[in-house]
């Protein structure tokens, strides 16, 4: 019987698919962002500690996870320092509906000794420590093939870290074709609006700038979305909050960039109509590019494609197509 179909293999996969909510421990008492180090240490002494403490996690008034302070750092900082000043704000966390396999992959990849667990609103629910890997998962290897166990946990890690150049080429090139296709379509659009571009030279001069703005905002939005993408199924509540936050941010960025570009066109070319046309297209293209940075990785996750590999080329190609279309159509409407 092959390892994939063996009873031991089925038991391993079934065990590793369990939610980590079954393994959460309370962990040390959370610190508050507005506490001083002295107040935090006093609160810890009053509450007491578990046997193994690696990190102290920091929450705000609504219990949202805000930062982390390693135990050694807390003991060596000045007593009057604020926790908000000594904490590290970039914290890796796991959603409470993540699986045991996902938790073990995090331990393997990031080498942390503990990982906080949060709910859908980023409120701290507890921690899982490295004992989850050594005590729970390693029980599966008793009387079975250890290699099979590690293959179940690390198969995705090994594919990414140890792929041969040809395999990496096969994984990545098809998605780069999206960039090539997007560039060709943009060239076709520019050719279709050649008369508009010839009518106002300023349009051709600023097209590269507008494209760069759209791509930059799309890349920023994409990086933030991929980093915060839930490990399990993306829920509508998370997507709605993310779209609203990115939409407002992109709108502000687009307004500022659009006004700056419009002023530049007006002052240097003395063409008010072209300034309004170019500035308006900047606002709209930046807004849509920011939203694409959220929607594309979510759509790819929904069809079980890897957003880390595929989302970049697809998002940038889509942003370029919309930016060029918006830019040229707006110019034709305003300039005739």
Angle between helices 201-228 and 236-269 in degrees, nearest 10: 160
Domain limit, last residue, from 129, 157, 185: 157
Adjacent-strand bridge partners of 70: 55
pLDDT (0 to 100) of residue 301: 81
Distance between alpha carbon 93 and the CA centroid of its chain, in Å? 12
Q: Both 130 and 257 in a single domain? A: no
State whether 125 and 107 are in the same domain: yes
pLDDT tens track for 128-151: 887 766 655 555 444 444 444 444
pLDDT for residue 161 = 54
Please indicate, yes or no, whether residues 240 and 295 belong to a single structural domain of this protein.
yes
Same domain, 320 and 171: yes
| Whole-number Cα distances in Å, 215 to 57, 113, 284, 291, 307 | 36, 38, 13, 12, 17
Q: In the block, which residue shows the tokens 């008034």?
A: 61
202 and 87 belong to one structural domain: no
Give the domain CATH number at 218.
1.10.357.20
Residues 196 and 288 in one domain: yes
Q: Is residue 99 domain-shared with residue 71, that is, in the same domain?
A: yes
Domain termination residue (choose one: 130, 157, 184): 157
12, two tokens: 């391993």
Q: Is residue 171 domain-shared with residue 147, that is, in the same domain?
A: no
Shared domain check, 170 and 318: yes
Residues 231, 100: contact at Cβ < 8 Å?
no
For residues 138 and 147, what is the distance between their CA atoms, to the nearest angstrom? 12
Q: Is 28 helix (H, G, I), strand (E, B) or coil?
A: coil
Q: Are residues 111 and 178 in the same domain?
A: no
Q: Which region holds residue 215: left if phi is over 0, alpha if psi is between -120 and 50, else beta?
A: alpha
Domain of residue 153, residue span: 3-157
| pLDDT of 275 | 92
Residues 256 and 147 in one domain: no
Q: What is the number of other CB atoms lying within 10 angstroms of the CB of residue 130?
A: 16
Give the closest residue to 246 by CA, choosing from 285, 218, 282, 212.
218
Residue-wise pLDDT tens for the chain (336 aa)?
344 444 444 445 556 677 888 888 888 889 999 999 999 998 888 877 766 677 889 999 888 999 999 888 888 888 999 998 999 888 888 888 888 777 877 777 677 788 899 988 888 988 888 776 665 555 544 444 444 444 444 444 455 455 667 776 776 777 677 778 887 888 888 888 888 888 788 888 899 899 999 999 999 999 888 878 776 677 888 899 999 999 999 999 999 999 999 999 999 888 899 999 999 999 999 999 999 999 999 998 888 777 777 788 889 899 999 999 999 999 989 876
CA distance 49 to 27: 8
CATH number where 143 lies: 3.10.580.10
Whether residues 136 and 191 share a domain: the answer is no
On the 0-12 / 13-18 / 19+ scale of CB atoms within 10 A, 43 is middle
What is the number of domains present in the chain?
Answer: 2
How many Cβ atoms are within 10 Å of 233's Cβ, its own excluded?
9
Give the domain-ending residue among 123, 157, 191.
157
């Amino acid at each position: 019987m092959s390892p994939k179909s063996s009873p031991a293999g089925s038991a391993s996969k079934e065990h590793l698919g369990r939610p980590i909510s079954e393994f959460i421990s309370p962990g040390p008492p959370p610190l508050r962002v507005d506490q001083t180090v002295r107040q935090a240490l006093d609160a810890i002494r009053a509450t007491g500690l578990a046997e193994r403490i690696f990190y102290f996690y920091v929450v705000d008034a609504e219990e949202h996870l805000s930062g982390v302070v390693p135990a050694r750092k807390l003991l060596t900082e000045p007593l009057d320092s604020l926790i908000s000043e000594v904490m590290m704000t970039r914290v890796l966390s796991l959603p409470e509906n993540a699986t045991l396999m996902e938790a073990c992959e995090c331990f393997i990849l990031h080498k942390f000794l503990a990982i906080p667990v949060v709910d859908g609103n980023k409120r701290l629910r507890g921690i899982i420590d490295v004992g989850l890997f050594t005590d729970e998962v390693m029980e599966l290897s008793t009387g079975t093939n250890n290699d099979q166990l590690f293959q179940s946990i690390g198969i995705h890690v090994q594919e990414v870290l140890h792929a041969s150049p040809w395999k990496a080429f096969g994984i990545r090139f098809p998605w780069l074709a999206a960039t090539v296709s997007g560039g060709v379509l943009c060239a076709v659009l520019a050719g279709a609006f050649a008369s508009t571009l010839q009518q106002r030279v300023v349009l051709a001069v600023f097209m590269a700038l507008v494209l760069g703005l759209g791509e930059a905002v799309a890349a920023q939005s994409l990086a933030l979305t991929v980093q915060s993408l839930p490990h399990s199924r993306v829920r509508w509540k998370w997507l709605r909050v993310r779209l609203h936050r990115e939409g407002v941010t992109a709108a502000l960025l687009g307004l500022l960039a659009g006004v700056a570009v419009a002023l530049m066109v007006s002052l240097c070319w003395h063409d008010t109509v072209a300034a309004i046309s170019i500035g308006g297209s900047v606002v709209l293209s930046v807004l849509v590019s920011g939203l694409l940075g959220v929607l594309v990785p979510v759509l790819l996750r929904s069809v079980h494609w890897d957003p880390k590999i595929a989302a970049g080329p697809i998002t940038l190609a889509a942003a370029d197509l919309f930016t060029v279309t918006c830019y040229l159509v707006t110019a034709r409407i305003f300039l005739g």
